[in-house]
Structure 1
Amino acid sequence: MSSMLLEIVTPERKIYGQEVNMVVAKGIEGELGILPNHIPMVTPLRIAAVTAKVQGQKDHVIAVHGGFMEVRKDKVVILAESAELPEEIDADRAARARERAEARLREARQEKVDFHRAEQALQRAMLRINVRNRDI
């Protein structure tokens, strides 16, 4: 089976770099499945898990907190605002962040709370919890 290079980088460091058979990511228009020799494209990404499929191995799941994905014939580069591997995620901290974000969203109806910012914080916390739990 043919493969392509997947690189996930943030402003701080390279998170992931490996030959994969398929990449599944969530763009603003929906979920994308990228195979080798895909038509070149660039798309913004949502706060969501990116799955790297490698033949004969367990799927690699990475928490990607927004950014852009560039697809070339033999390479996919994800430039993420931030990203985390499952083993880097502190499940307790993510659960506390989810609770704080949910509380801010409840307060948003009564007070001047930035609803969009609280919603994004909740999405990031839920993503961390889901990616961490998927790896257990």
Structure 2
Amino acid sequence: MSVMQVEVVSNEESIFSGEAGFVVVPTVQGELGIYPRHEPIMSLVRPGALRLTVPGQAEEILVAVSGGLLEVQPHKITVLADVAVRSAEMDQSRAEEAKKAAEARISQAQDDDSLVKAQAALAAAIAQLKTLDYIRSHKNK
């Protein structure tokens, strides 16, 4: 299996650094599947589940991303995510509560700064919920 180097980085930390044979990234144009030697592109990332197929591992690695930037080179993919959380660190009830709290903060925002922060929190919660939905839908198959 041909592989490429993948880096997934959030504002706080490196989430994944290693080789992958296939990556699916949620972009503003839709989900983008990337194999090694893909044509170079750049795209904006939308909230959703980033999926990595790693050689030697049966299960995909899932990361919830809330937005950011994707850069694809023939042998390297870089995702600079606003917020990124590995699926093992996610909890359905916490994500639902975070979504409700962010929606409330959006409706009560008094200035642009608080509105932007609330929108970022909402995007992070939505990304986690989408990733948890993906996990649930694929466990039943």
Is TM > 0.5 for Structure 1 vs Structure 2?
yes
1:9-49 Cα offsets, whole Å, 9 max, x none, are: 12322110121111101111111111100001111111111
Within-5 A mapping of 1:1-136 = 1-55=1-55, 56-101=57-102, 121-132=121-132, 134=135
Report percent identity of matched pairs.
Answer: 34
Supply the AA of the counterpart residue of 1:67.
G
1:119 to 1:14, Cα distance in 2 relative to 1, 3 A? closer
Q: Is the 8 A contact 1:63 1:86 kept in 2?
A: yes
Number of residue pairs the alignment of both structures matches: 132
Q: Could you list the runs of 5+ residues in structure 2 that have no partner in the other structure?
A: none
Change over 3 Å in CA distance of 1:73–1:48 after alignment to 2? same
Q: Distance in 1 between matches of 2:111 and 2:49?
A: 27
Gaps of 5+ in 1: none
SS in 1 for 2:46: strand
Instruction: Label 1:11 to 1:97 Cα distance change in 2 as closer, same or farther (>3 A).
Output: closer
Q: CA deviation at 1:90?
A: 3.9
TM-score, normalization: structure 2? Answer: 0.76
Determine if contact 2:65/2:128 at 8 Å carries over to the other structure: no
| Secondary structure, counterpart of 1:57 in structure 2 | coil
CA distance in 2, matches of 1:12, 1:100: 22
Q: Is the 2:66–2:120 Cα contact (8 Å) retained in structure 1? A: no
| CA displacement at 1:95 relative to structure 2 | 1.8
C-alpha contact (below 8 Å) 1:40/1:70 kept by paired residues: yes
CA RMSD between the two structures: 2.7
